[in-house]
Structure 1
């Protein structure tokens, strides 16, 4: 039974001979380190726990935590600096870069393989080029170990930015990564980065040429068909193919006919454009000068100086041959599609004997004409006339609107005058009278307001000479007022002003009756004028209307005097034109003309004679039983003094 260690409770063991303490220090590599004693004084076993503090902490952490919870947080791991954790750990990538060679006839560029080392200790990078024997170039360390800038914002290259089959730019030089070592791939995989599959390093053309020159040479016996024999047998023999260049996919494109000439003597191709009369193209017949035509123009090295050097067999591996030209096939001449639709007889005979081609059926190339896009005209902005605005939209340099000079010469000084009142809700506009003048030469209208005493309204010209459009007209298809639109009771809208026609002069009715075939739908105007004249007795003549004179039947001398007075009043001197008009209607040259034709000719030649005076004048002449009159007698009758 154990007794407490108190005075009087201790007993000495007579068999005990060791009373020294166990060592608490140990030596390791020459250094004293603390050690936990295994036994007590005199070699007695210790009854305390022999576990270390770390082992006790680990046991405490393994207690059940589902019921009582975690008793104690695990101690934090010891901090290990990066230079200790990543010491001597380096990522290795295989890469290459191209170096352009400018002044060498044997090579255009070099392929130089390098090794990129990424040091995880301090994120530094170095680029090493392996030494190649007899290279003649300084090789070895291209970039010393340092942190390399990635962009202009101050970022540096990190191992997370590196991958296989990608380009990296170090100080303006592009390196293409092709592969990496096993430890690098395992490290990237442990960090969750999936590497691309490795890519091969392209071969150096110059090194390959040196290997070929150093290799064992073999010789082949040249064929019987050499260049001299080709020149002798195929000189002046040319294959001719008819084709079209379908350029309808571009703006203003079309199908252009061309002829392809294939010269058998040197396998060159020439393309000539077929011009037609008035086709509007420059007279340059040769579209492609005579040269060897490659099948794939773009399949060459990017470093080839095509600006100063021609293509050769080294760059272009495949050229067009006669067997590639077939009817119905499309060939590409420097990315331009040409459809072959026919060939000449010599070409057919050559292809049949050489390649066994039998089908020479022509291809129909006339397709549907392309729809020309319609140009949308902008809305009328109100500035200028509709014709001026339309002409400014049709051409870059606006041209003046075209005029009908024939119409202007035939209808010169012919004016239709109408009397109208303003249709307005304003009380001061009630009763305002206007005179609307319609010029037949250019279809322009002028509006004049006669002066009225004490009206308080300034009279005079209300509208300058201009063409007036109908309400709701479109700018691209304007509709203007015509003589058939002007009749008694009609409403004319002129720039938001409404006018109601109330009367017209006698010349309007006489002119429209004699020109009914020139103005369709003018019967409504004639009927309104006739109704107005029947309902109104002795209407007041408008300004500049023909004069009215009382006439006595059978008074020829008085009639002649009145005719002379009217002709003298209007200064009429167009008798030659009147005579020519009579001769034009006298087709059989009998000297006779119909009475109604006489009236129409007088009206068309602007003879200033009223209708009643004309009827009275014709009644005094000798009229045939067929209604014919001698036009020479009529001219003598009206021109005699």
Structure 2
């Protein structure tokens, strides 16, 4: 329902009534068409066809139309008579706006007050927009008062604007020439004028009170009757009697703080306290023995004296509610002196007896405050990342700059140049890898292994170094603490896994067997027995009296296969032919037996640059060796003939 005012009643809440008989609630059309184009227009009537007051002429427009004279069509239009002009100095003559305000002035050099409140009256002259600030004169104030700012137009900002009466209101800050005034109220004329100009005034505030003036209004301090306690008697009774407490100040929570020991002296003669620091030899601290000089220490202060400048002036009895006494000190309890907390852990014999006899306290226990060593933290190494040796990676966890791991110098000196050689065959499902054999060299001094593949012509493999000198971990061993292969793991038929490749040990040097037998207690007996069995199967070769080659069915076949491999491998080598080599052996074999001692045999091989360290040649030498330790050179020379 649309409310409709009743004639004669003001249009206010509670004075409007709805028309119950109204049934038309149509809205005025705001869209139309002109020359085929749509356009919008203002509504001409309100809902239901009521009169629309928003689009009606105002009273000022109606007055202007009423005073407007009609103009003739053929005559010159006549101007309306101008309104009467009244200048500002006439209209606002002797009209002044008054505001009550105050400002706060700092007082730095005074023990009685830190700031003062100064009341002022701000006058605004409407005739020329000038202002003045007057401070009422207070008798015997000692401050020059009266005209604070003479009458003038006050600047508002740096752009050249000046303050206007529209900028003034109650409850705001008014800043001029670096002074900030707080406007709290105004007089009735000012209030009426500002409200007539449409300015909404803020609620008035109370004038701030000056703390020093209020303090002067309080009554004077009453006289306090002195105590009847005889201090002279106390001095005569307890002269040269001092309570000694051993304390510690723990400042480890702050940066660069530590624990420091102090001695607290309580003088019974005048109830004074002294704190002395205990210095140790070469402690690196300045030799200041006294931390707190002998004085009476306040325990509880008056609330009004918390901000008292105690660093400049002494505290009097009127500023303290309670002083420290002898009963405030006890072993096992902390005590706070001038903001620093001390923990008392012991006292001397006289102090124990005095506290027991005077206060009835039990025997004080001695509290142990010695520094305890920090718990030993077990160093745990991070998991091994797989790069380098475990010992080298662990050095990064021990020091910022890693150092070279320490080696067993005795083992390096004892086992230097001891190399154990083995021959192994690669176990692989690839057909091309079958028949590839490798030489394993185990360096006993460093426990490292190198793998060398002898080059074979037209094999499709280059040969040479297969693996550099390194330690080989056993499969399934712990990553952080791996177990490496040793001489006890290399036996005939042993499966050696090297970084995913599998090798089978098939042969070894005779030096390996001799070395293991000489150190039988350090290596498994099964490994030594496997090498013995392997070498015992190789029967020594003999020669018939007529100098022909011995024909043994099994060993002859092995000899022929080995000779064939050596010939194929040394096809491009620049060794001498069978004739010169055989002649060299025969010259040394004066008895013409076909056998030579090992020393003479190896001297000839050295002269002809034969690689006796090669696994195949070494195996051929063992097959040509007789039971007496002599070597038959006829079958040996056949391997180097073309």
- Bigger-Rg structure (1/2): 2
Normalized against structure 2, the TM-score is what? 0.46
